[in-house]
Amino acid sequence: MAASNFVRRGAGVPAEAPDGERPRADKGPQGTGDALQVTREARDQTLVVRVVGDLDIRTAATFRQQVDEWFLASDHRRLVLNLSRVTFLDSTGLGAVLGRVRRVRDAGRQMVIVPPGGVSRAVLDVAALGRAVPLYRSERAALDEEAQTHA
């Protein structure tokens, strides 16, 4: 069985957390719960966005919103989208990635991707992602401007 290691609690989260903190808007049956984590790290002109978990019909809108807010609405010139820890990718997730590629290009900025492995890579390859955007084997390679080690 190849389920990911993430414990998903999205569907069973109580309306009010025990410590009294307001429930996050993305919890609940329609939210992303813990299935997806998107984090960022700014490095000069480059913004690294790391995606961990499932990028799918349930979580794609959150991913899309975060990247657009963090990158397109910022002054960063280059986006390194690290998908190497994506555990599941469906066509909705793929569409969200391709949509970001298009929007970044339309904004006249640069974007590179560190792809996931396994079947998720095959999903990206069906859409010929490598022709639309440079793919790198690792985040390190993507960050090293001198390294031309395309995956």
Q: Which is nearer to another protein, 95 or 151 (CB)?
A: 95
Tokens of 42: 């700014």
At closest approach, how far in Å is the CB of 148 from another protein?
A: 29
At closest approach, how far in Å is the CB of 84 from another protein?
A: 16
Residues that bind another protein (CB under 8 A): 1-3, 8, 10-11, 29-30, 33, 35, 54, 56-58, 60, 64, 88-92, 94-96, 98-99, 102, 118-120, 122-123, 126-127
Using an 8 Å Cβ cutoff, are 10 and 34 in contact?
yes
Using an 8 Å Cβ cutoff, are 36 and 54 in contact?
yes
Q: How far is 44 from 75, CA to CA, in rounded Å?
A: 10
**DSSP string over 77-102:** SEEEEEEEEEEEE-HHHHHHHHHHHH
Q: Which is nearer to another protein, 104 or 141 (CB)?
A: 104
Q: Which is nearer to another protein, 39 or 65 (CB)?
A: 65
Tell me if residue 67 falls in helix, strand or coil. helix
Q: Which is nearer to another protein, 52 or 141 (CB)?
A: 52
